[in-house]
Each structure stands twice: as structure tokens, then as C-alpha cells.
Chains A and B, each alone.
Chain A
Amino acid sequence: MLIFEHSRPGRRNYSQSPTTAAEVRNIPQHLLRKTPPLLPEVSEMDTVRHYTRLSQLNFSIDTQFYPLGSCTMKYNPRACNSLAMLPQFLARHPLAPEDTGQGFLACMYELQEILKDVTGMAGVSLTPMAGAQGELVGVAMIRAYHEARGDYARTEIIVPDAAHGTNPATAVMCGYTVVEIPTGKEGDVDMAALKAAVGPKTAGLMLTNPSTLGIFEKNIAEMSRIVHEAGGLLYYDGANLNAILGKVKPGDMGFDVIHINLHKTFSTPHGGGGPGSAPIGVAERLLPFMPVPIVAFEQGKYRWLTEKEIPQSIGRLSAHMGNAGVLLRAYIYIRLLGAEGMYRVAEFATLNANYLMAELSKAGFEIAYPTRRASHEFIVTLKDLKEKTGVTAMNVAKRLLDKGYHAPTTYFPMLVPECLLIEPAETESKQTLDAFISSMKEILAEAHAQPEMVKGAPHTTPVRKLDDVKAAREPDLTWKQSS
């Protein structure tokens, strides 16, 4: 039942809006709304009950294990939420003077400094509001760098075929043409293809390392040399930073610019699809182009640097300074971990992934890159299972929902057929992983014994398999009074 179906004309909450209806003077009649908007007329209890019940239809980290590859679904500590929501932080207006926000700005400054250290970069700006916006900023800086040197010939961005979809989409938004390069048998970027692709048109290369195949690009130093010698820059998609936190710094791998998904590595909540936050880090040569504002600490005071101090900045990406509340949560998380805790993140994320990979392999699942170490994630391919039983990766994913697990990432990266990309994250215990492994074994047995049942999954979720085709062909995107 929709909230609108609970609505009754004239019902309302009296405590939550002004007691009297103020007179609207000074607004000409023709600018005033004629009919009220279609908002529900319900009681406070109706609202609380309706949305509490809706919440219960969701899977979440607080209720389920999410072995969701490339998404780093780790526990979101409650202290991060409650401390970021202290009343003074919530009440502070974004345009309030800097001296009324020294406590907040201290956190932001320290976060910038810590992220510089973690990534090995020369500068950090906290402003991008999501991974894709961090990418947009990063590629825009690459463009600004070339143009500032009078080099307008560079029109191409190289992207491996295993990359996130945001990489090519971002390159296009920055006015570049995308050159896709293939992956070799062992899962590394095909070096011959890379050599053939670079040249005077190369603006840069976008790379995730460890890659979305769950393996560390061993040739990264050589790749860095090839791209730099051709005059291009290296972009690091920080989606998988969790796997190498404190172990390798992207700056040391030769990257010129990086975005960091705080909602992955630094445990800020996914919130059902946002808000994200993706600070960017840059090497020395990109410092003049960083997006503003950036926090500075001078003569004992924190203040914002803007276009005035960074005149070649690529500009602003949001009305204010980015997703402040998300940044606070990440700061609190980092302070809880300390340096030791950050090393352990990578260590235990990697231990969990390799353990799961080993056990699933023993259980009869085919590993896509069996000769490689898993980073913090790995790929299972169900090509054989599909040929033998007709059960697909999507069917297995949906059957996992019945067993109380969120599905792994399916059909990504696209180059591995019938794939499940599995990432357990460091916050899961061996016992949880063992229970998941048992469920995977059960599903494998079910696929052979009762393939039709598996294909019909899920069976126990609030709704069964939904008709996507109907949704796209006859879009029903808003509720109408008569419907």
C-alpha cells in the first residue's frame, strides 16, 4: 500500500507545522498555486508505521551479509553517525563565517591530510559528492593540465574493458573519445594493446588497481612508464582502495590523480544509493587545477581556499563544499581505526576474500582467475553450470536472496561470462563466511537437482521476480489519484 492510499482529506499533523496559517501578503495572485500538491494527508503514526514497515522490506548491512563485489559493503559504525549528527554540526549554515566553524573545519583539514598520506598524493580536495563526480573532476583536471601547456592534440582517454561504466561515461562528459583496451588471459591489462593505443592523442589512462577482476595489475609500473612517456596522465579509480589501504599508495604506483569512494573504503553508509562522497587526490603537477574549496590552516586558523587562491582551478562542483556530513563520518571512522586499524582493513579484507575463494573452489565453483591471488574480491564464473543445468549467474544470485544473503555483483565485469563478483569485506567473521559457503553449496546441489526451482528464485522475498520489461515498456513512474 502506498502512503497516498492511507491519505484522508483534512487529516494532518498539528504539532509539526506553524499553529496558525500566516497571511500571504505581497505575492500577486497570478503567481500563487491554484491546487494543492498531491502530498499525503496522514497522521504522524501513519507515517512512522508506513516507513518503518517499508524499511523492513529492505536488505541492509545491519541485517544481512552483502558479498557485493566492487561495493565494499562493510559495517557502518554507529558512532560515526551519532557524532556526525551532533546538533552544532547539523545546525551550521554553509555560508556561516569560518570562525563559527573552526571545530568542523579542523576535522576537514585533518581528513585532507590523512587522505594525502593514505594515497601518497600531494594535495586533496574533499568537494566531489560521489565517485562519478570525483571521476569527472579528475578527468577535467587532466584536460586542464594539457590545455594549460597549450597541448590541445590530446583527445583520447584509454580505458580497460574491465572498467566501471562510469569511466567511459566520464571521459565522454569531459569531451574525450574513449579507447578501450582488452584484458589478457591472466586478468592483467594487455600490454601490447596498451602500447599500440598510446600516442600523441593520449590524454590519460583510467585504471582501477586492484582491478574489477579482483587482481592486482602487476605491470602497473610499466604501464605508468608507457602512458607518461606518451605524455598522458594516469587516473586511479579508487573504488578498490580497500584492498591495499596502507599497503601500497596510488601515488607510489605513478598515478597523477585519484578519487576515493568514502562510502566504500571509509565506511560511510550507502543509504540505499547515496549520498556518496569522493575526495580527489592529485600529484604535484595537478595542484593548480584542484576543485575548490579546500581547507587551509594558517596562523592557527582554518579557512577555505577558493578561486582567489587557486585561479586555475577547474571550478566548483556543488553549491557549497561537498557532502560535509559524509566527510565527518569518514573522519570519525579513520580516527577510530588509527594507522594500525587501516593496515588491518586491507589485511582482513584480503584474508576473507582469499578464504572464500579457496573454499568455494573446493566446493566445485569455477574461479575465473584461479592462478591469481584474490585482492579483496574475486570472480566465480558459472558458464559450465549454465551449460549443464540452464541455471544462470542471475538465478544463483536470486536464490541467495532466499537464503538470506544479498546477491554478489552479477554480470560485471562484462568480459567474464556468467560471473559473480564476490567481495566479503573485512568486517565479516569466519562464521558468517562459512554459513555463506554452505548456502552456495546447497544452491549448487539444487541447480543440478531442481534447476527449475532455482530459476524461479527468489521465492521468499516480499515480491518474486519482477517484470523489468513491462516496467520499461509501459513506464509507471508516478502514482495517479485514479489509479
Chain B
Amino acid sequence: MPFIPHTEEDISTMLASIGANTIEELFDEIPPALKSGSLKALPGLSEMEISRLMQERAEVDGRYLNFIGAGAYEHHIPAAVWQITTRGEFYSSYTPYQAEASQGTLQLLYEYQTMMASLTGMDVSNASMYDGASALAEAALMAVRSHKSSRRILMPTTVHPIYRRVVRAIVKNQGIEVVEIPYCAECGHTLVESLAPYAGQDIAALVIPQPNFFGVLEPVDALTDWAHDNDALAIGVVNPMALALLTPPGEWGSTGADVAVGEGQPLGIPLSSGGPYFGFMACKQSLVRQMPGRIIGRTTDLDGKTGFVLTLQAREQHIRRSKATSNICTNQGLMVTAATIYMSLLGPEGLRRVAAQSHANTVALVEQLETLKGVKRIFSGPLFHEAAVTLPVPTDAVLQTLKAQGILAGLDLGEHYPELGNALLVCATETKIADDLKKYVEHLGRVLA
């Protein structure tokens, strides 16, 4: 019996203690008419059999030379990260409600909060959210809670298109309006001028992506100041890896953004078809009691010794029930364990090098692609590690042909930005070497020839 240790003798002793004759008798309070019983026949597999099945399926999926980014990025993950993260004491521990039995996880989360607050330039960070998209939705809700009158969020169309959908799905039942702001067709970022129609109106928050979905850097200082001049919060949605190089949201404009959220995946989390990842959320001190999710604080025990606890729980569902800041009760503990170990191993210089190399590789890739006839970067704005390029032939045909060569050439922008025509979003992180770029450009050259 898989994972059940009971011997026949155990079972009969236990039933005798209960005063029941059979295990089935223990279900006698369930009305017989409801007992639907049988499941479809599914034979149990041994560990050897399931290993074989899963290995076969993994092999079917194969390995590709990947140039897709679009919100999930391939970075080198040091061996130590997941070896330590999957230690049973992290992997199989429960949410740290019993603080005295969870000091390992709690201290790690406190260290994580410190790292994320510093990376984003914010005062405080929570212990993580589900993912970047849902963290942005929670930030929008937080802005509406803290604003006295407005239920309107300004959302540039340079924000990840799926993030925009997720925000809408999560906030729509609370009567919150999400207004989309167009981007500059030439530079590829949001122009402060395009916010002019909303100046002086009641706005809860302006969302500011950095870098944006096209990989372009936004004029974050001017956008942040615009938000504050209009009594709105500035919500930065940022790539944490980029923050090793770029001005953190806490230093944008004259007083800094108010909330920073984003996808934590670049910090040591494998791509794995989309999850589990983790979202992060950091904010100004003044907003901490509006923040959803778990927060860890440092305190002392009966003997005055330093220890860590879940704190400010009066915001949360298990205490406040219908009056909680959010229904969220989980964070992404194990993912954050990996991210914290990743950031410790990389340190400020290592993280900066990964970011700089990713930037340099993408710049080099774009330069080489532009040597091909009809291939050109679409936008003029400065880029981090991703770029939109236009192709002289239909994008899908290019993607199919390169895939046959083992290359995932990028994301087709057509679905979300049809106005861009045959457009591809490409990303070359630090994991790509000169030969990889060369291979990509050569194969694309052959398709176009």
C-alpha cells in the first residue's frame, strides 16, 4: 500500500480501540445514497514505472536553444540553490505559524524581505505573492484601498499583456476601472504627454513597468512625478534582475514610487512551463498596513534572545475574515527560499554581472540581426535585455523553421500587438554565448535568403 505503513495487526488493534469492525464502518455517517464510490480504474505504478514514464515524456519535450523572454527568463541557477531548497526541512515544513518551530524559514524570509526592500529601494517587503501578474493586481487593490475616493487605475499598454488581463480578472468584481494608456509608436515607451487627458482627475494609481514588455526602458522619473502631482500612487512593476543595474523604484522621480511589484522568477527559479514562480511586493513604510500577504518581523523571546515571527497579522484573512486586506493566505515559501539563496550566492556584483551580460548579449543579438535585410529593431528607446524586431516575412513561418533547427527564436508579438506587423520579441540572457547568437542569425539569414 503506497505510503501507508499499517500492518494487519495495527489495523485490527486500532479498530478494536475505536469499537468498529471494519474501516468502512467509520464512514457510516455518510448517507449511503451519496456514496458514489468507484473511481475509474487507474493502476498504481511502482517508482520504477513512473520514473520511466516521466523520463519518456521529458524526452519527448526535448531541449531548445531559447530566445523567448516575455516575462520569464532563462538564467544560470547555481547548483547549491535547489540542493539546499529541497532539503526536507524547507521542502516539507508548514507555514511558520508556530514560530518557535519555524525559525529557519522565518529568518530566511526576514533576510529575503531585506534583500527585496533594498533591491527595489523600498522601506518594506512582504514575504512574497503568487506571481508577478497577481502581485500587480494586489497592488492595484492596495492603491484603491489607500486612496480616499478613486477606483481608477491607469495602465500603460507597455505592461505585459497577460498581466493586464489578470489585473482585470481579479479587480473587476470590485468596481475598479482599468484605463489603458497607449505607447509611443516610435520610441516604444509611455509618454508623459499621453497622460494629459487624465490630469487633475481622480486617479488611484499609475502603473509604471520597468523595463516594459518590449524590453524598453520607461521615463520612470517623469511618470512617477506625474502620478504624485495628480494625487495618485506610483506602482512600479519591475524585473528584479534589471534592478541590479537600473534605478530602483524607491528612487524614481522626486520622492520615489510607492509600491514595487514584479515577477521573482529571474532570481533562481527555473522556467518550468510557467510555475511555480513567485511575485514580490515592496512598499513605502506608510503603506505597510495596507499590504496584503505575510510579513515577518524581528522580535525577542522570553529570554531576550532575537527571533522572528509572522507579524501585522491583523491585516490577514485568518484573523479579519471578511475585513481582511486580501483573501491570500499563502506565499510562495519554497520559491523565496530558492531566491534568497540565489541572491546570497550572487551578491551585488554577481547579480550586476548577470544583468549586464544579459543586456550586452541582447544588444549584440539585435546588432547582428539588423545586418539581415529587412530585419530591424522597432523602437528607438533604450533597452535592457529584450527587443522587438520587425521581420520582412510572416513571423510564424520564421518561428516554425527555426524551431525545426532547435531554436526558439522569440515571441510572436502579433497576438497582443497586431499593429506591429511581423514582429518578434527576442531575449538573450547571460546564458547565451557568441556561438548561440551566431547560430540564430545564420539560420534566420537562411530563412530570409
Contacts and interface: CB of A to CB of B under 8 A. Distances in A.
18 contacts: A17-B430, A21-B353, A23-B356, A27-B245, A37-B119, A39-B348, A55-B90, A86-B58, A94-B274, A96-B66, A216-B30, A252-B36, A267-B3, A316-B162, A351-B6, A354-B18, A406-B98, A463-B103
B163 interface: yes
Interface stretch (A99-107, A383-391, A439-447): A99-107
A37 B348 contact: yes
Interface in A53-94: 53-64, 66, 68, 71, 73-77, 79, 81, 83, 85-94
Interface in B37-90: 37-47, 50-51, 53-64, 66, 68, 70-72, 74, 76, 78, 80, 82, 84, 86-90
A307 to B, nearest CB: 8
Contacts of A276: 330
B170 A317 contact: yes
A117 B40 contact: yes
Contact of A173 (B93, B107, B113, B326): B326
Nearest to A66: B94
Contact of B382 (A12, A27, A81, A135): A27
A102 B247 contact: no
B275 interface: yes
A462 interface: yes
B42 A114 contact: yes
Interface stretch (A194-202, A226-234, A280-288, A470-478): A470-478
B37 to A, nearest CB: 7
B301 A471 contact: no
Contacts of B197: none
B11 A351 contact: yes
Contact of B247 (A32, A53, A107, A135): A32
A55 B87 contact: yes
A44 B345 contact: yes
Contact of B248 (A23, A37, A169, A397): A37
Given A16-B346, A276-B330, A462-B100, A33 B247 contact: yes
Interface in A1-58: 2-4, 11-13, 15-18, 20-28, 30-34, 36-42, 44, 46-48, 50-58
Given A55-B90, A90-B272, A315-B166, A129 B131 contact: yes
A347 interface: yes
A291 B3 CA distance: 33
Given A17-B353, A478-B117, A169 B173 contact: no
Given A81-B86, A90-B272, A316-B169, 10 more contacts: A17-B354, A47-B80, A130-B328, A131-B329, A273-B330, A320-B162, A323-B276, A398-B98, A466-B100, A479-B114
Contacts of A301: none
Contacts of A21: 349, 352-353, 356
Contact of B347 (A39, A322, A373): A39
Residue with the highest number of chain B CB atoms closer than 10 Å, among A51, A71, A325, A458: A51
Interface in B1-16: 1-6, 10-11, 13-15
A213 interface: no
Interface stretch (B201-209, B224-232, B334-342, B438-446): B334-342
Interface stretch (B179-187, B304-312, B368-376): B304-312
Contact of B34 (A13, A107, A135, A248): A248
Contacts of A271: 90-93, 332-335, 337
B114 A4 contact: yes
Contact of B131 (A50, A79, A318): A318
A272 B94 contact: yes
Contacts of A407: 98, 101
B170 A471 contact: no
Interface in A351-407: 351-352, 354-355, 358-359, 372-373, 397-398, 401, 406-407
A271 B20 CA distance: 37
Contacts of B353: 17-18, 20-22
Contact of B270 (A79, A91, A173): A91
Contacts of B317: 132, 165-166, 168-169
A103 B10 contact: no
B442 to A, nearest CB: 21
A260 interface: no
Interface string A306-346: 00000000111111111111100000101111111111111
Contacts of A267: 3
Residue with the highest number of chain A CB atoms closer than 10 Å, among B31, B130, B170: B130
B300 A467 contact: yes
B31 A355 contact: no
Contact of B39 (A332, A343, A359): A343
A250 B60 CA distance: 35
A275 B330 contact: yes
Contacts of B332: 271, 273-275
A154 interface: no
Contacts of A184: none
A66 B337 CA distance: 21
B448 interface: no
Given A55-B90, A89-B272, A463-B100, A13 B347 contact: yes
Contact of A132 (B17, B94, B330): B330
A448 interface: no
A121 interface: no
Contacts of B4: 344-345, 348, 426-427
Given A41-B347, A74-B3, A476-B297, A351 B14 contact: yes
A12 B408 contact: no
A158 interface: no
A32 B251 CA distance: 11
A13 B89 contact: no
A373 B29 contact: yes
Given A372-B29, A466-B301, A461 B382 contact: no
Contact of B101 (A59, A326, A342): A59
A406 B101 contact: yes
B175 interface: yes
B312 to A, nearest CB: 6
Interface in B261-317: 263, 270-278, 288, 294-303, 305-309, 311-314, 316-317
B360 A165 contact: no
Given A51-B84, A129-B275, A475 B55 contact: no
B320 A274 contact: no
B309 A39 contact: no
B259 interface: no
Contacts of A122: none
B431 to A, nearest CB: 10
Contact of B105 (A31, A58, A342, A373): A58
B357 A40 contact: no
Given A58-B90, A247-B27, A468-B299, A103 B247 contact: no
A275 B334 contact: yes
A68 B94 contact: yes
B264 to A, nearest CB: 12
A421 interface: no
Contacts of B42: 114, 334-335, 338-339
Interface in A161-183: 164-166, 168-175, 178
